[in-house]
Amino acid sequence: MLENLPVIHDPWFYAVAVPAVFITGLSKSGFAGGFGSLATPMMALTLPVPQAAAIMLPLLLAMDATGLQQMWNERNRALVRRLVPWALLGTVVGTLLFGVLSAKAVAGLVGALTLAFLAQRLLFPPRAGGPPAPHWVGSGCAVVSGFTSFVAHAGGPPISAYTLPLKLPPRELAATMAVFFGAVNLSKILPYAWLGLIDLRNMATALVLLPLAPLGVWVGVWLTRRVSAALFYRLAYAGMLLTGVKLLWDGLR
């Protein structure tokens, strides 16, 4: 049956795509959240970045639907109302600059910002009971997140730089990020179609991978309910570290 579909048949593509989709599902649940930004760079080992991003979009939407169905009521409503409009502005910027900035330049920028945030957290850890970052920092991170999410589905590290220090309960943080990226990913559909990224071959390939989309989310939700908050945040920061190194490497090589 697959022979009759205009899908990608390269086995090397599926060797990286299958774990990439599963890891992204884990991150969509909030568990090891930083790892989700690795999916497009992993697929880009065998495909051009825009094509990898196009294939991932329907899978991300399926993951968003799974996560929202399980965690909608636990979202932080105030944070969603404050951050989502700025993230949508970032997707508009991404649409306008899509043909100007190379995917490598965006990857390098996101990686550098991610590692800079982690270095700041290590060298200047926040004081117990200290005030959270001002709202304008969250707005700026949301704009950058919407932009990098549009270009390479790498929106996790920028917004995590603002949300992780808030120390929300793991389930509340996961639910809030599920709503945030659900809105961002929905906003990409028309611009991706306008840019010519949504074609039959990419969508057919996404359809082949679709059964994997909810699996990582379900596993991640199960784990998020059972791990301590301390371990949850250690894994989140570890995901950001690996993502930052990988994206910076992609930008510099």
Tokens of 246: 């990988």
Distance CA 43, CA 24 (A): 12
Who contacts 45 (Cβ-Cβ below 8 Å, separation ≥6)?
12, 16
d(CA 125, CA 119): 9
Supply φ then ψ for residue 160, to 5 degrees.
-65, -30
CA 94 from chain center: how many Å? Answer: 15
Beta carbons within 8 Å of 93's beta carbon, 6+ residues apart: 143, 146, 147, 150
What pTM was estimated for this model as a whole?
A: 0.76
Q: Where are the alpha helices (DSSP H) in the chain?
A: 11-28, 39-43, 49-71, 77-97, 103-123, 135-152, 156-163, 170-187, 189-194, 200-209, 213-224, 229-252
The residue ranges of every structural domain in the chain are 2-252
Tokens of 109: 């920028």
Question: Token digits for 111?
Answer: 């990686």
Is the separation of the CB atoms in 35 and 240 below 8 Å?
no
What SS3 state is found at 143? helix
**Distance (Å, whole) CA 226 – CA 232:** 10
Nearest CA to 156 out of 67, 45, 241, 217 is that of 241
Per-residue pLDDT of the chain (253 residues; tens, 9 = 90+): 445 667 888 888 888 888 888 878 877 766 555 566 667 767 767 777 778 888 989 998 988 888 788 778 888 999 999 999 999 999 999 899 877 777 677 677 767 777 876 776 666 565 545 567 788 888 999 999 999 888 878 787 788 888 888 888 878 888 898 899 999 999 999 999 998 888 888 898 998 898 888 887 787 777 767 777 677 667 667 766 777 787 788 778 7
